[in-house]
Structure 1
Amino acid sequence: MNIYFVRHGQTNENNNKYYYGKLDVCLNEKGLNQAKKAADFLRHVKFDNVYVSERKRTSETAHIILGHDFEKVNIDSRINEMDFGKFEGKNYKQIKKMYPSQWNRWCSDWKNESPPEGESYMKFYSRVHEFMDDILKLNEENILVVTHGGVVRSVYCYVLSGNLDFFWKFASRNGDITLIKYEYGNLYIDSITHVDA
């Protein structure tokens, strides 16, 4: 099984380094170009199944990659980005100024603490873990998953035996394509491609 993970193209919120997961925003011009590059890279792959988060930025990216085949997608809330609650739409300087105690608690225990009215990383990882467990039960050759940076990095943790500290050991750029293979009961990261490289 080949599982192709694509992080959505850039948005203005990415460009401004905002924390955002639940905010439903569109791709900017650079993001549209990144999606086109991902589409070109994947043009020869015939996908048996496609999964997309609930957000516009992933559906826009998937639409560009799939073209006329866009109807055959599964929208799955488990691969939505982490919900940052009241931190949404703000950069870290703004958050530190507006919510100093909550920011410090979150930084000191990022796995278990959650932003005000948001979700903890453990809750977030739990739904990504459940999604991956279900994907590995499928009997299909090529699967496309268009999702978010936090989800992709959590999938890396899943592949690496659930070691959540690996979350900070990988980058995930807008438009990146990660190929994860599942063969003979073995799950591994085969390649990570930067479309802007």
Structure 2
Amino acid sequence: MRIFLVRHGQTAANESGLFYGSTDVPLTPLGVEQSTRVAGLLAQVSFSAALTSQLQRAQHTAQLIVPLAERDPRLNEMDFGRWEMRHFSSIAAEEPDAWQLWVDDWQNATPGDGEAFPRFAERVRAVADELSLRQEPGDMLIVAHQGVLSLLLTRWLGMPTASLWHFPFKQDAYTMVENRDGFMVLRAFNDRSPFRSDE
């Protein structure tokens, strides 16, 4: 099985550099354009399954690529609590102690009384482990968020959780991982070339 990972297109909050994990914001016109471009790159792929988060930015991106996608709440981005829709500079100025705690120990601190990172990582790892056990042939599409996709990838590649920062997913590209009897191989990362079905 080949698994194609796609990050949702641009949103206004994304463009402004705001924390917006659980906030359900739509794509910008550029975000629609980016997602449409990815759909063109994957036009030759016949997806037998597709998964997306429950958030509209991921669902809209998925709809531009495939007719239907199953929604899985475990693929939702991390909830930043009261930090949602705020810029890091205002958080650092208004909540300096909480901000510094998160900067120093982001894997254990809970941002803005939102979702604790260990809980977020646990639900994403559960999806990763389930997919690594699937052996049927075919191609799967997953449309989700930066944090989710990078955690999936680090889990599949057997890397430490902190390695997620090494995988900045672009919003106009696709990544492909091949499941070889549970051994996951990264075949393409942030690819912007048309995928040929015979690859």
**TM-score, normalized by length of structure 1?**
0.92
Counterpart for residue 38 of structure 1: 38
How many angstroms apart in 2 are the aligned matches of 1:194 and 1:148? 17
How many angstroms apart in 2 are the aligned matches of 1:18 and 1:171? 16
Per mean C-alpha deviation after superposition, the further-off stretch among 133-142 and 106-115 is: 133-142
Q: Which amino acid aligns with 1:186?
A: F
Work out whether 1:182 is the aligned partner of 2:176: no
Q: Which amino acid aligns with 1:16?
A: S
How many angstroms apart in 1 are the aligned matches of 2:92 and 2:158? 33
Superposition map of 1:1-197 within 5 A: 1-66=1-66, 69-70=67-68, 73-138=69-134, 139-195=136-192
In the TM superposition, residue 175 of structure 1 has moved relative to its aligned partner by: 3.0
In the TM superposition, residue 140 of structure 1 has moved relative to its aligned partner by: 3.9
How many angstroms apart in 1 are the aligned matches of 2:47 and 2:153? 21
Q: Count residues in correspondence.
A: 192
In the TM superposition, residue 77 of structure 1 has moved relative to its aligned partner by: 0.5
How many angstroms apart in 1 are the aligned matches of 2:137 and 2:115? 32
User: Where in structure 1 do 4 or more consecutive aligned residues deviate above 3 Å?
Assistant: none
How many angstroms apart in 2 are the aligned matches of 1:94 and 1:173? 26
Identity %: 30
Q: Residues 177 and 195 of structure 1 are in contact (CA less than 8 Å); yes or no, is this contact kept in structure 2? A: yes
Q: Which amino acid aligns with 2:176?
A: L
Per mean C-alpha deviation after superposition, the further-off stretch among 161-170 and 53-62 is: 161-170
Q: Residues 177 and 188 of structure 2 are in contact (CA less than 8 Å); yes or no, is this contact kept in structure 1? A: yes
How many angstroms apart in 1 are the aligned matches of 2:9 and 2:188? 19
Q: Residues 10 and 30 of structure 1 are in contact (CA less than 8 Å); yes or no, is this contact kept in structure 2? A: yes
Q: Residues 149 and 174 of structure 1 are in contact (CA less than 8 Å); yes or no, is this contact kept in structure 2? A: no
Counterpart for residue 196 of structure 2: none
In the TM superposition, residue 155 of structure 1 has moved relative to its aligned partner by: 1.4
In the TM superposition, residue 162 of structure 1 has moved relative to its aligned partner by: 4.2
Query: In structure 2, do the counterparts of structure 1 residues 187 and 194 end up closer, same or farther at CA, with 3 Å as the change threshold?
Result: closer
- Secondary structure of the equivalent of 2:3? strand
How many angstroms apart in 1 are the aligned matches of 2:26 and 2:35? 12
How many angstroms apart in 1 are the aligned matches of 2:137 and 2:191? 25
**TM-score, normalized by length of structure 2?**
0.91
Gaps in structure 1 of 5+ consecutive residues: none
How many angstroms apart in 2 are the aligned matches of 1:194 and 1:6? 10
In the TM superposition, residue 194 of structure 1 has moved relative to its aligned partner by: 4.8
